[in-house]
Amino acid sequence: MSLLKLLIFPPILMLSAFIGTADGYYEYRMDECVYSTSDYSDMVYLVSMSFNKVVELQFNSTEGKFVGVTEDGVKQAERLNKDQNLLQGLKASVDTVCRNNAQNNDLAVRDKTVLPKVKLSSVKQAEGNHPAVLMCSAYEFYPKKISVSWLRDGKLMTSDVTSTMEMANGNWYYQIHSQLEYTPKSGEKISCVVEHASSPQPIVKDWNPSMPESERNKIAIGSSGLVLGIIIAAAGLIYYKKKSSGRILVPN
């Protein structure tokens, strides 16, 4: 598991233009760099070409060629794939464009990052097929991009997981919440994993199936009240017996 990072470069590489006249034809190109490792070893350079909001063909540096999506896109891909100089230049963009910009971008952000505060708790279930619901929340983090996932005995869980989008707090920080519905099993280990640019290692919170702190507090308060009630009752009983022992009973 790793945090997916996406670089969408400025207009010099994101080209969009109207062609034709009042008919409003719209052609759009987007260049993206996608990676998940800190050494950029899995960097992929993507080029998407769209016409009237429909993606027609794409270039993937891993495959090293254009792939058509629509019927017209297939024809364009066949034509472009014949130009080896074009393909070699696009493949080289992984180094000449992606890695260079990714490094500069990461350095600019890394010294401004704020570590998220992560809380794992049990919540009441309103509806669903499972009896237990856990909520993993990350607060007060920056920058916005973050990944929250769940592990069960070390294996990634993808079903019965719902998450919010990153939400702005209004103070430059963000928050996100992820919910897991599951059926508890004896001896299992449930973990929430948060990955963020502020931490070189994933932040892992393991769920402790013992009673949550809030429940322990309720029981502690209840127990204290019960003990206090017993003490007051015992004191009242002793006082009553003392008063009774000083009386002389006279028959009517």
Q: How many other C-beta atoms can be found within 10 angstroms of the C-beta atom of residue 220?
A: 10
Assess if residue 220 is contained within a domain: no
Domain CATH for 148: 2.60.40.10
CA gyration radius for the chain? 31
How many domains, the chain? 2
Assess if residue 150 is contained within a domain: yes
Residues 134, 200: one domain? yes
pLDDT recorded at residue 247? 52
Q: Which structural domain range is residue 135 located in?
A: 117-206
Domain CATH for 98: 3.10.320.10
Residues in the chain where the model's pLDDT stays below 70: 1-24, 109-111, 125-129, 210-231, 233-252
Assess if residue 81 is contained within a domain: yes
pLDDT recorded at residue 105? 75
pLDDT recorded at residue 100? 83
Q: Report the C-alpha gap between 194 and 136 in whole angstroms.
A: 9
Residues 74, 147: one domain? no
Assess if residue 216 is contained within a domain: no
Helices (H), the chain: 71-80, 84-93, 100-110, 213-245
**Would you state the structure tokens that stand for residue 191, as one six-digit string?**
């973990």
pLDDT recorded at residue 235? 63
Residues 76, 135: one domain? no
Asked if residues 212 and 121 have their Cβ atoms less than 8 Å apart, the reply is: yes
Assess if residue 175 is contained within a domain: yes
Residues 99, 180: one domain? no
Assess if residue 188 is contained within a domain: yes
pLDDT recorded at residue 20? 42
